Amino acid sequence: MSYTLTHIENRILTITINRPDKLNALNQATLEELKSHVVAAQDNTDIAVIIITGSGDKAFVAGADIGELATTNAVTGMQFAKFGQSVMNAIEDSRKPVIAAVNGFALGGGCELAMACHLRIASDNAKFGQPEIKLGVIPGFGGSQRLTRLVGRGKSMEMNLLGEMIDANEAVRIGLANQVIPAADLSATVNSIASKLAASAPIALSMVIDTVNRGYEFSLADALDYEIKAFGICCATEDKSEGTSAFLEKRTAQFSGQ
């Protein structure tokens, strides 16, 4: 049984977590499917951008599958967390932009999934949170770390210690989400953003993702040096020649990814 749906149109891959009866909770099989789609997309020239969303209008992903979590012990729990983190890392390290279309509850593993994406566009009925503390555990898919890097230590500590939900507007205010969109307009808005990204220079997009992600872990001096090298790589591409020529000739650039 497949727990994800995929659709490719206009070089945009949409991955839909499809467990509406479980509020799209992440079990092992769903995580495996999600990772395989993201990994396969990296070398698929028909795909320029990835959107991840949830089925239905209640949940993006309401968390990890509690039924599976209840059966874990120290060893299997670590294995589950390690694999879950590998999925989130594959998304965060994707050379192609990944957008989370957060169409409802993004709790626990769902919040962690959204944070691994490069952009988070939330519907006005979305809720974010890391409620693992209420189950006697902590986040295992990167929630204690990515949340801290996005919103700061104080707010991350509050959300992880109390386990309470915040709404979409608060998520934007603290830097957890990028935009709030009326629920009826979420899909169209996300697809519009994805289309803009799909028309951009692929190598430059991947370099932005890489320099932001890697540079955040470096000292400022090392991060700036890393940026210099990435800039130099971009300057040697056909896309740079096309982009600068198009600008000077007052026409729309047609990037090839070369």
For the stretch 114-151, pLDDT in tens is 999 999 999 999 999 999 999 999 999 999 999 999 99
The answer on pLDDT for 45 being more than 70 is yes
Q: Tens digit of pLDDT for each residue in 178-192?
A: 999 999 999 999 999
* Side-chain-facing half-sphere of 147: CA atoms under 13 Å: 30
Domain identity same for 191 and 210: no
Q: Which of 112, 170, 238, 249 is catalytic?
A: 112
The predicted structure's pLDDT at residue 64: 87
Residue 257 lies in a domain: no
Active site residue 112: yes
The predicted structure's pLDDT at residue 39: 98
- Report DSSP letters for 48-78, one per residue: SEEEEEESTTTEEE--B-HHHHTT--HHHHH
Residue 254 lies in a domain: no
The answer on pLDDT for 167 being more than 90 is yes
Domain identity same for 173 and 235: no
Domain identity same for 190 and 215: no
- Report DSSP letters for 167-185, one per residue: EHHHHHHHTS-SEEE-GGG
State the DSSP H helix or E strand holding residue 243, giving kind and residue range, or none if neither.
helix 238-248
Q: Which of 132, 158, 217, 242 is catalytic?
A: 132
The predicted structure's pLDDT at residue 169: 98
Domain identity same for 169 and 206: no
The answer on pLDDT for 105 being more than 80 is yes
Q: Tens digit of pLDDT for each residue in 47-71?
A: 999 999 999 989 999 998 888 889 9
| Residues in CB range of 125: below 8 A, 6 or more apart | 57, 103, 104, 168, 183
Strands 12-17 and 59-61: unpaired
Number of folded domains in the chain?
Answer: 2
Domain identity same for 26 and 153: yes
pLDDT band of 1, cuts 50, 70, 90: low
Domain identity same for 90 and 29: yes
Domain identity same for 144 and 241: no
- Average the pLDDT over 200-204 and give the result: 96
How much is the mean pLDDT over the chain? 96
- Average the pLDDT over 84-88 and give the result: 97
Range of the domain at 242: 202-248
